[in-house]
Amino acid sequence: MRALKILSLIYSFLAVGLFCALPLPVRAQQASPTPTTVILFVGNSFTYGGSTKAHGYNKASVINEPPGEPGVGGVPAIFKKFADEFKLSYEVHVETSGGKNLEFHYQNALPLVSQPKWDAVVLQGYSTEPLPAARDGKPDNFVKHAVLLEQAIHTARPSAKVYLYQTWPYAYKTYPDNPANHLEPLTAMFEDLRVGYARAFTEDKHFEKIVPVGDAWIRTIRSGAATDDPKGTVKPGQCDLWDKDAKHPSIEGSYLAALVLLKEITGADVRKLGAGEQAAHDLGIPSGVAVKLQTVAAETPTAK
Note the pLDDT tens digit of each residue in 230-260: 888 899 999 999 999 999 999 999 999 999 9
Alpha helices per DSSP H over the chain: 2-21, 45-48, 74-85, 102-108, 110-113, 139-156, 171-174, 183-204, 213-223, 251-266, 278-283, 287-299
Q: pLDDT, tens digit, for every residue of 70-93?
A: 999 999 999 999 999 999 999 999
pLDDT band at 31 (very low <50, low <70, confident <90, very high): low
Amino acid 187 reads: T
At residue 210, does pLDDT exceed 70?
Answer: yes
Compute the mean pLDDT over every residue in the chain, rounded to the nearest whole number: 90
At residue 64, does pLDDT exceed 70?
Answer: yes
Torsion of CA 221, 197, 41, 183, to 10 degrees: -10
At residue 221, does pLDDT exceed 70?
Answer: yes
Lowest mean pLDDT: which of 40-44, 147-151, 173-177?
173-177
Q: How far is residue 5 from each of residues 16, 222, 236, measured CA to CA in Å?
A: 17, 95, 96
Q: For the full predicted model, state whether its pTM sits above 0.85.
A: yes
CB-based contact 163:264 (threshold 8 Å): yes
CATH number, span 34-299: 3.40.50.1110
At residue 5, does pLDDT exceed 90?
Answer: no
- pLDDT at position 32: 54
CB-based contact 274:69 (threshold 8 Å): no
At residue 218, does pLDDT exceed 90?
Answer: yes
Q: Provide, rounded to the nearest whole percent, the portion of the chain with pLDDT above 70.
A: 88
